[in-house]
Amino acid sequence: MTLTRDARVAIVGGGLGGLVCARVLQLHGRSVTVFEREADLDARPQGGSLDLHPDTGQAALRAAGLLDRFHELSRPEGQEWRKVDHATAAAQEQEWPPGDEGAGVEDRPEIDRGQLRGLLLDSLAPGTVRWGRAVSGALPLGDGTCRLTFADGATEDFDLVVGADGAWSRVRPAVSEALPEYTGVTFVETGFDDSDVRHPELAKLVGPGTLVAESGSTMLFAQRNSNGHIRAYVAFRAPQDWHTAAGVDLDDTAAVRTYLSARLDGWAGGLRYAVLDGDHGFVHRPLFALPVPHVWEHVAGVTLLGDAAHLMPPLGVGANHALLDGADLAQALVTEERVDDAVRAYEELMLPRSAELAKRCAEGLRHLVP
């Protein structure tokens, strides 16, 4: 069995969980390579704002030696949530759904996902991330090692392969046959640039954090990001092909706007503006989740973290637990003498934790979008 200090470790996926795992390993003098299918850091937008919780996301950054830098970049004022009446936009008391652990608790500052990813990337040794290296599969070899196959046909063997490659993980089939399933809820996203200057009434309505409104099976989120940007999402329960049944071409901005306008009939003007008058087109985001619970029998030489291990509805906990997974796995690899013992210790901690959290998030989504 391979000693952890000598292990060849490959992390597939340069998201938050994989990067924090690599950072903690390097802090302790361990070798690691991250394979990322994107061509570079700026290949695509990184999504909205995240609130990092003290006992999960922030704990992981503390283990990575990056907590102080995080606090320099974060926005404590972004913790504010405003729930308003859909018809009048008048303030309402916030009721937190199951699954949003720590809801209402202070010390969960916000940070843009892209800023956090940049912070983690900057902390790694040059050359750690191999950009443009798409992985097509992982094959445990039966001797405690695992072979990665790349999209270009090349292969490389490692003592441990960590699948941190998200919802549609190419590593997951090495340990599990599970596939993400549509939750019955879809999000439609738009955005506003330089909102304090160009959309002052909306900026005032949203405030420094997140605005929430709901009516029936339709919910609106408008979220403040850095640099005056606001992201707005309409969430509703519908078949995955709702747009086909409604005769809506998702690439036709005007057609999507007409559909959403009808769906928001009777909503306050400011809330309708948050959806219908964005500076960008609309992005369709159907929500998928892995079966609950998602567990697997231990396979030597390979494991999973983050969405690859426990994809769940986005109720503010997924990124936090991806970060915690990455830090926990790295710390096990530093603490245990042998790779397989470290992976077993990590999975014994992560799998029951994520199963319980996924159950709560599924309940929370049913609560939010009935």
Q: In sequence order, what are the beta bridge partners of 111?
A: 50
**Do 176 and 60 sit in the same domain of this protein?**
yes
- pLDDT range class, residue 2, cuts 50, 70, 90: confident
Which CATH number do you get for residue 62? 3.50.50.60
What are the phi and psi torsion angles at 9 (to 5°)?
Answer: -110, 130
Q: How far apart are CA 146 and CA 193, in angstroms?
A: 45
**Do 172 and 313 sit in the same domain of this protein?**
yes
- pLDDT range class, residue 367, cuts 50, 70, 90: confident
Amino acid of residue 265: D
- CA 174, chain centre distance (Å): 22
Can you tell me the mean pLDDT for 261-277?
Answer: 96
Q: At how many degrees (to 10) do helices 269-276 and 253-263 cross?
A: 160
**Do 153 and 87 sit in the same domain of this protein?**
no
**Do 137 and 232 sit in the same domain of this protein?**
no
Q: How many domains does the chain have?
A: 2
Residue 103 domain-assigned? no
**Do 162 and 43 sit in the same domain of this protein?**
yes
Whether 103 has a pLDDT exceeding 70, the answer reads no
Residue range 137-174, pLDDT digits in tens: 999 999 999 999 999 999 999 999 999 999 999 999 99
Residue range 63-96, pLDDT digits in tens: 999 999 999 999 998 888 899 999 999 998 765 5
**Do 244 and 218 sit in the same domain of this protein?**
yes
Give residue 274's domain range: 80-96+181-289
Q: How far apart are CA 96 and CA 116, in angstroms?
A: 26
Q: What is the per-residue pLDDT for 258?
A: 96
Q: What is the per-residue pLDDT for 369?
A: 84
Which CATH number do you get for residue 241? 3.30.9.30
Q: What is the per-residue pLDDT for 94?
A: 63
- Which of 247, 265, 289 lies at the terminal end of a domain, its last residue? 289
Q: What is the per-residue pLDDT for 172?
A: 98
Q: What is the per-residue pLDDT for 46?
A: 66
Residue 102 domain-assigned? no
Tell me the pLDDT of the chain averaged across its residues.
93
Q: What is the per-residue pLDDT for 48?
A: 82
List the one residue out of 231, 224, 23 whose CA is nearest residue 119. 23
Q: What is the per-residue pLDDT for 44?
A: 72
**Do 356 and 297 sit in the same domain of this protein?**
yes
Q: In whole angstroms, how far apart are CA 7 and each of 129, 163, 240, 334, 343?
A: 17, 16, 43, 11, 12
**Do 123 and 260 sit in the same domain of this protein?**
no
What are the phi and psi torsion angles at 233 (to 5°)?
Answer: -135, 135
Q: How far apart are CA 186 and CA 174, in angstroms?
A: 29
List the one residue out of 300, 341, 302 whose CA is nearest residue 144. 300
Q: What is the per-residue pLDDT for 28?
A: 97
